[in-house]
Amino acid sequence: LSEKTWKAKRLEMIERYEETETREIFVKEEEIWRYLEETKNPDPQEVREILAKAYTLAGLGPRETAVLINTTDPDLLEEMYDMAWKVRRKVYGNRLVLFAPLYLSSECVNNCIYCGFRAANKAMVRKTLNDQEIEEEVRALIRMGHKRLLLVYGEHPNSDVDYMVRSIARVYSIKEGPGEIRRVNVNAAPLTVEEYKEVHAVGIGTYQVFQETYHPETYRKVHPKGDLKHSYKWRLFALHRAQEAGIDDVAIGVLFGLYDWRFEVMATIYHALDMEREFGVGPHTVSFPRLEPAINTPFTYKSPYRIDDATLKKIIAIYRLAIPYTGLILTAREPAALRQELFKVGVSQTDAGSNISLGGYSRRERGLEMQQFLINDERTLDDFIYSAMQDGFIPSFCTACYRAGRTGDNFMPFAKTGLIQNFCTPNGYLTLKEYLLDYASEKTRQLGEQHIQEYFREAEAKKPKMAALVKDYMRRIEEEGER
Q: Which residues bind ligand SAM (CB under 6 A)?
A: 114-115, 152-155, 187-189, 209-210, 212, 255, 289, 291-292, 294, 300, 333, 372-373
The entry of ligand SAM, ligand SF4, none near residue 473 (CB within 5 to 8 angstroms by kind) is none
Choose between 162 and 454: whose C-beta lies nearer to ligand SAM.
162
Choose between 117 and 414: whose C-beta lies nearer to ligand SAM.
117
The entry of ligand SAM, ligand SF4, none near residue 255 (CB within 5 to 8 angstroms by kind) is ligand SAM
Beta-carbon count within 10 A of 477 CB: 19
Long-range contacts, stretch 39-47, CB < 8 angstroms, 24+ apart: 39/63, 39/66, 39/67, 39/69, 39/70, 40/70, 41/70, 42/67, 42/70, 42/71, 44/73, 44/76, 47/71, 47/76, 47/79, 47/80
Q: How far is the CB of 296 from ligand SAM (least distance, A)?
A: 11
Q: Give 434's strand partners.
A: none
Out of 26, 103, 117, 414, the only residue in the binding site for ligand SF4 (CB under 6 A) is 117
Q: Check the CA dihedral 12-167-200-279 and report its sign.
A: negative
Choose between 222 and 432: whose C-beta lies nearer to ligand SF4.
222
The window from 107-115, 159-167, 324-332, 460-468 that contacts ligand SF4 (CB under 6 A) reads: 107-115
The entry of ligand SF4, ligand SAM, none near residue 292 (CB within 5 to 8 angstroms by kind) is ligand SAM
The entry of ligand SF4, ligand SAM, none near residue 118 (CB within 5 to 8 angstroms by kind) is ligand SF4
The entry of ligand SF4, ligand SAM, none near residue 7 (CB within 5 to 8 angstroms by kind) is none
Question: Do 289 and 253 contact (CB within 8 A), yes or no?
Answer: yes
Interface size with ligand SF4, residues (CB under 6 A):
9
Is residue 229 at the binding interface for ligand SF4, with CB under 6 A as the rule?
yes
Choose between 187 and 326: whose C-beta lies nearer to ligand SAM.
187
Is residue 110 at the binding interface for ligand SF4, with CB under 6 A as the rule?
yes
The entry of ligand SF4, ligand SAM, none near residue 239 (CB within 5 to 8 angstroms by kind) is none
The window from 85-93, 109-117, 200-208, 214-222 that contacts ligand SF4 (CB under 6 A) reads: 109-117
Is residue 115 at the binding interface for ligand SF4, with CB under 6 A as the rule?
yes
Q: How far is the CB of 193 from ligand SAM (least distance, A)?
A: 17
Is residue 350 at the binding interface for ligand SF4, with CB under 6 A as the rule?
no
The window from 111-119, 168-176, 258-266, 377-385 that contacts ligand SF4 (CB under 6 A) reads: 111-119
Choose between 115 and 321: whose C-beta lies nearer to ligand SAM.
115
Q: How far is the CB of 124 from ligand SAM (least distance, A)?
A: 12
Q: How far is the CB of 97 from ligand SAM (least distance, A)?
A: 19
Out of 62, 101, 145, 154, the only residue in the binding site for ligand SF4 (CB under 6 A) is 154
Is residue 295 at the binding interface for ligand SF4, with CB under 6 A as the rule?
no
Please tell me the distance from the alpha carbon of residue 184 to that of residue 151, in angstroms, as a whole number: 7
The window from 4-12, 55-63, 105-113, 400-408 that contacts ligand SF4 (CB under 6 A) reads: 105-113
What is the greatest pairwise CA distance in the chain? Answer: 66
Q: How far is the CB of 255 from ligand SAM (least distance, A)?
A: 4
The entry of ligand SF4, ligand SAM, none near residue 210 (CB within 5 to 8 angstroms by kind) is ligand SAM
The window from 104-112, 246-254, 285-293, 402-410 that contacts ligand SF4 (CB under 6 A) reads: 104-112
Q: Give 176's strand partners.
A: 179
Phi first, then psi: give them for residue 366, nearest 5 degrees. Answer: -130, 85
The window from 95-103, 106-114, 306-314, 358-366 that contacts ligand SF4 (CB under 6 A) reads: 106-114
Choose between 67 and 258: whose C-beta lies nearer to ligand SF4.
258
The entry of ligand SAM, ligand SF4, none near residue 152 (CB within 5 to 8 angstroms by kind) is ligand SAM
Choose between 134 and 294: whose C-beta lies nearer to ligand SAM.
294
Q: Which residues touch 3 (CB under 8 Å, ≥6 apart)?
A: 109, 156, 157
In the complex, which residues of this chain contact ligand SF4 (CB under 6 A)? 108, 110, 112, 115, 117-118, 154-155, 229
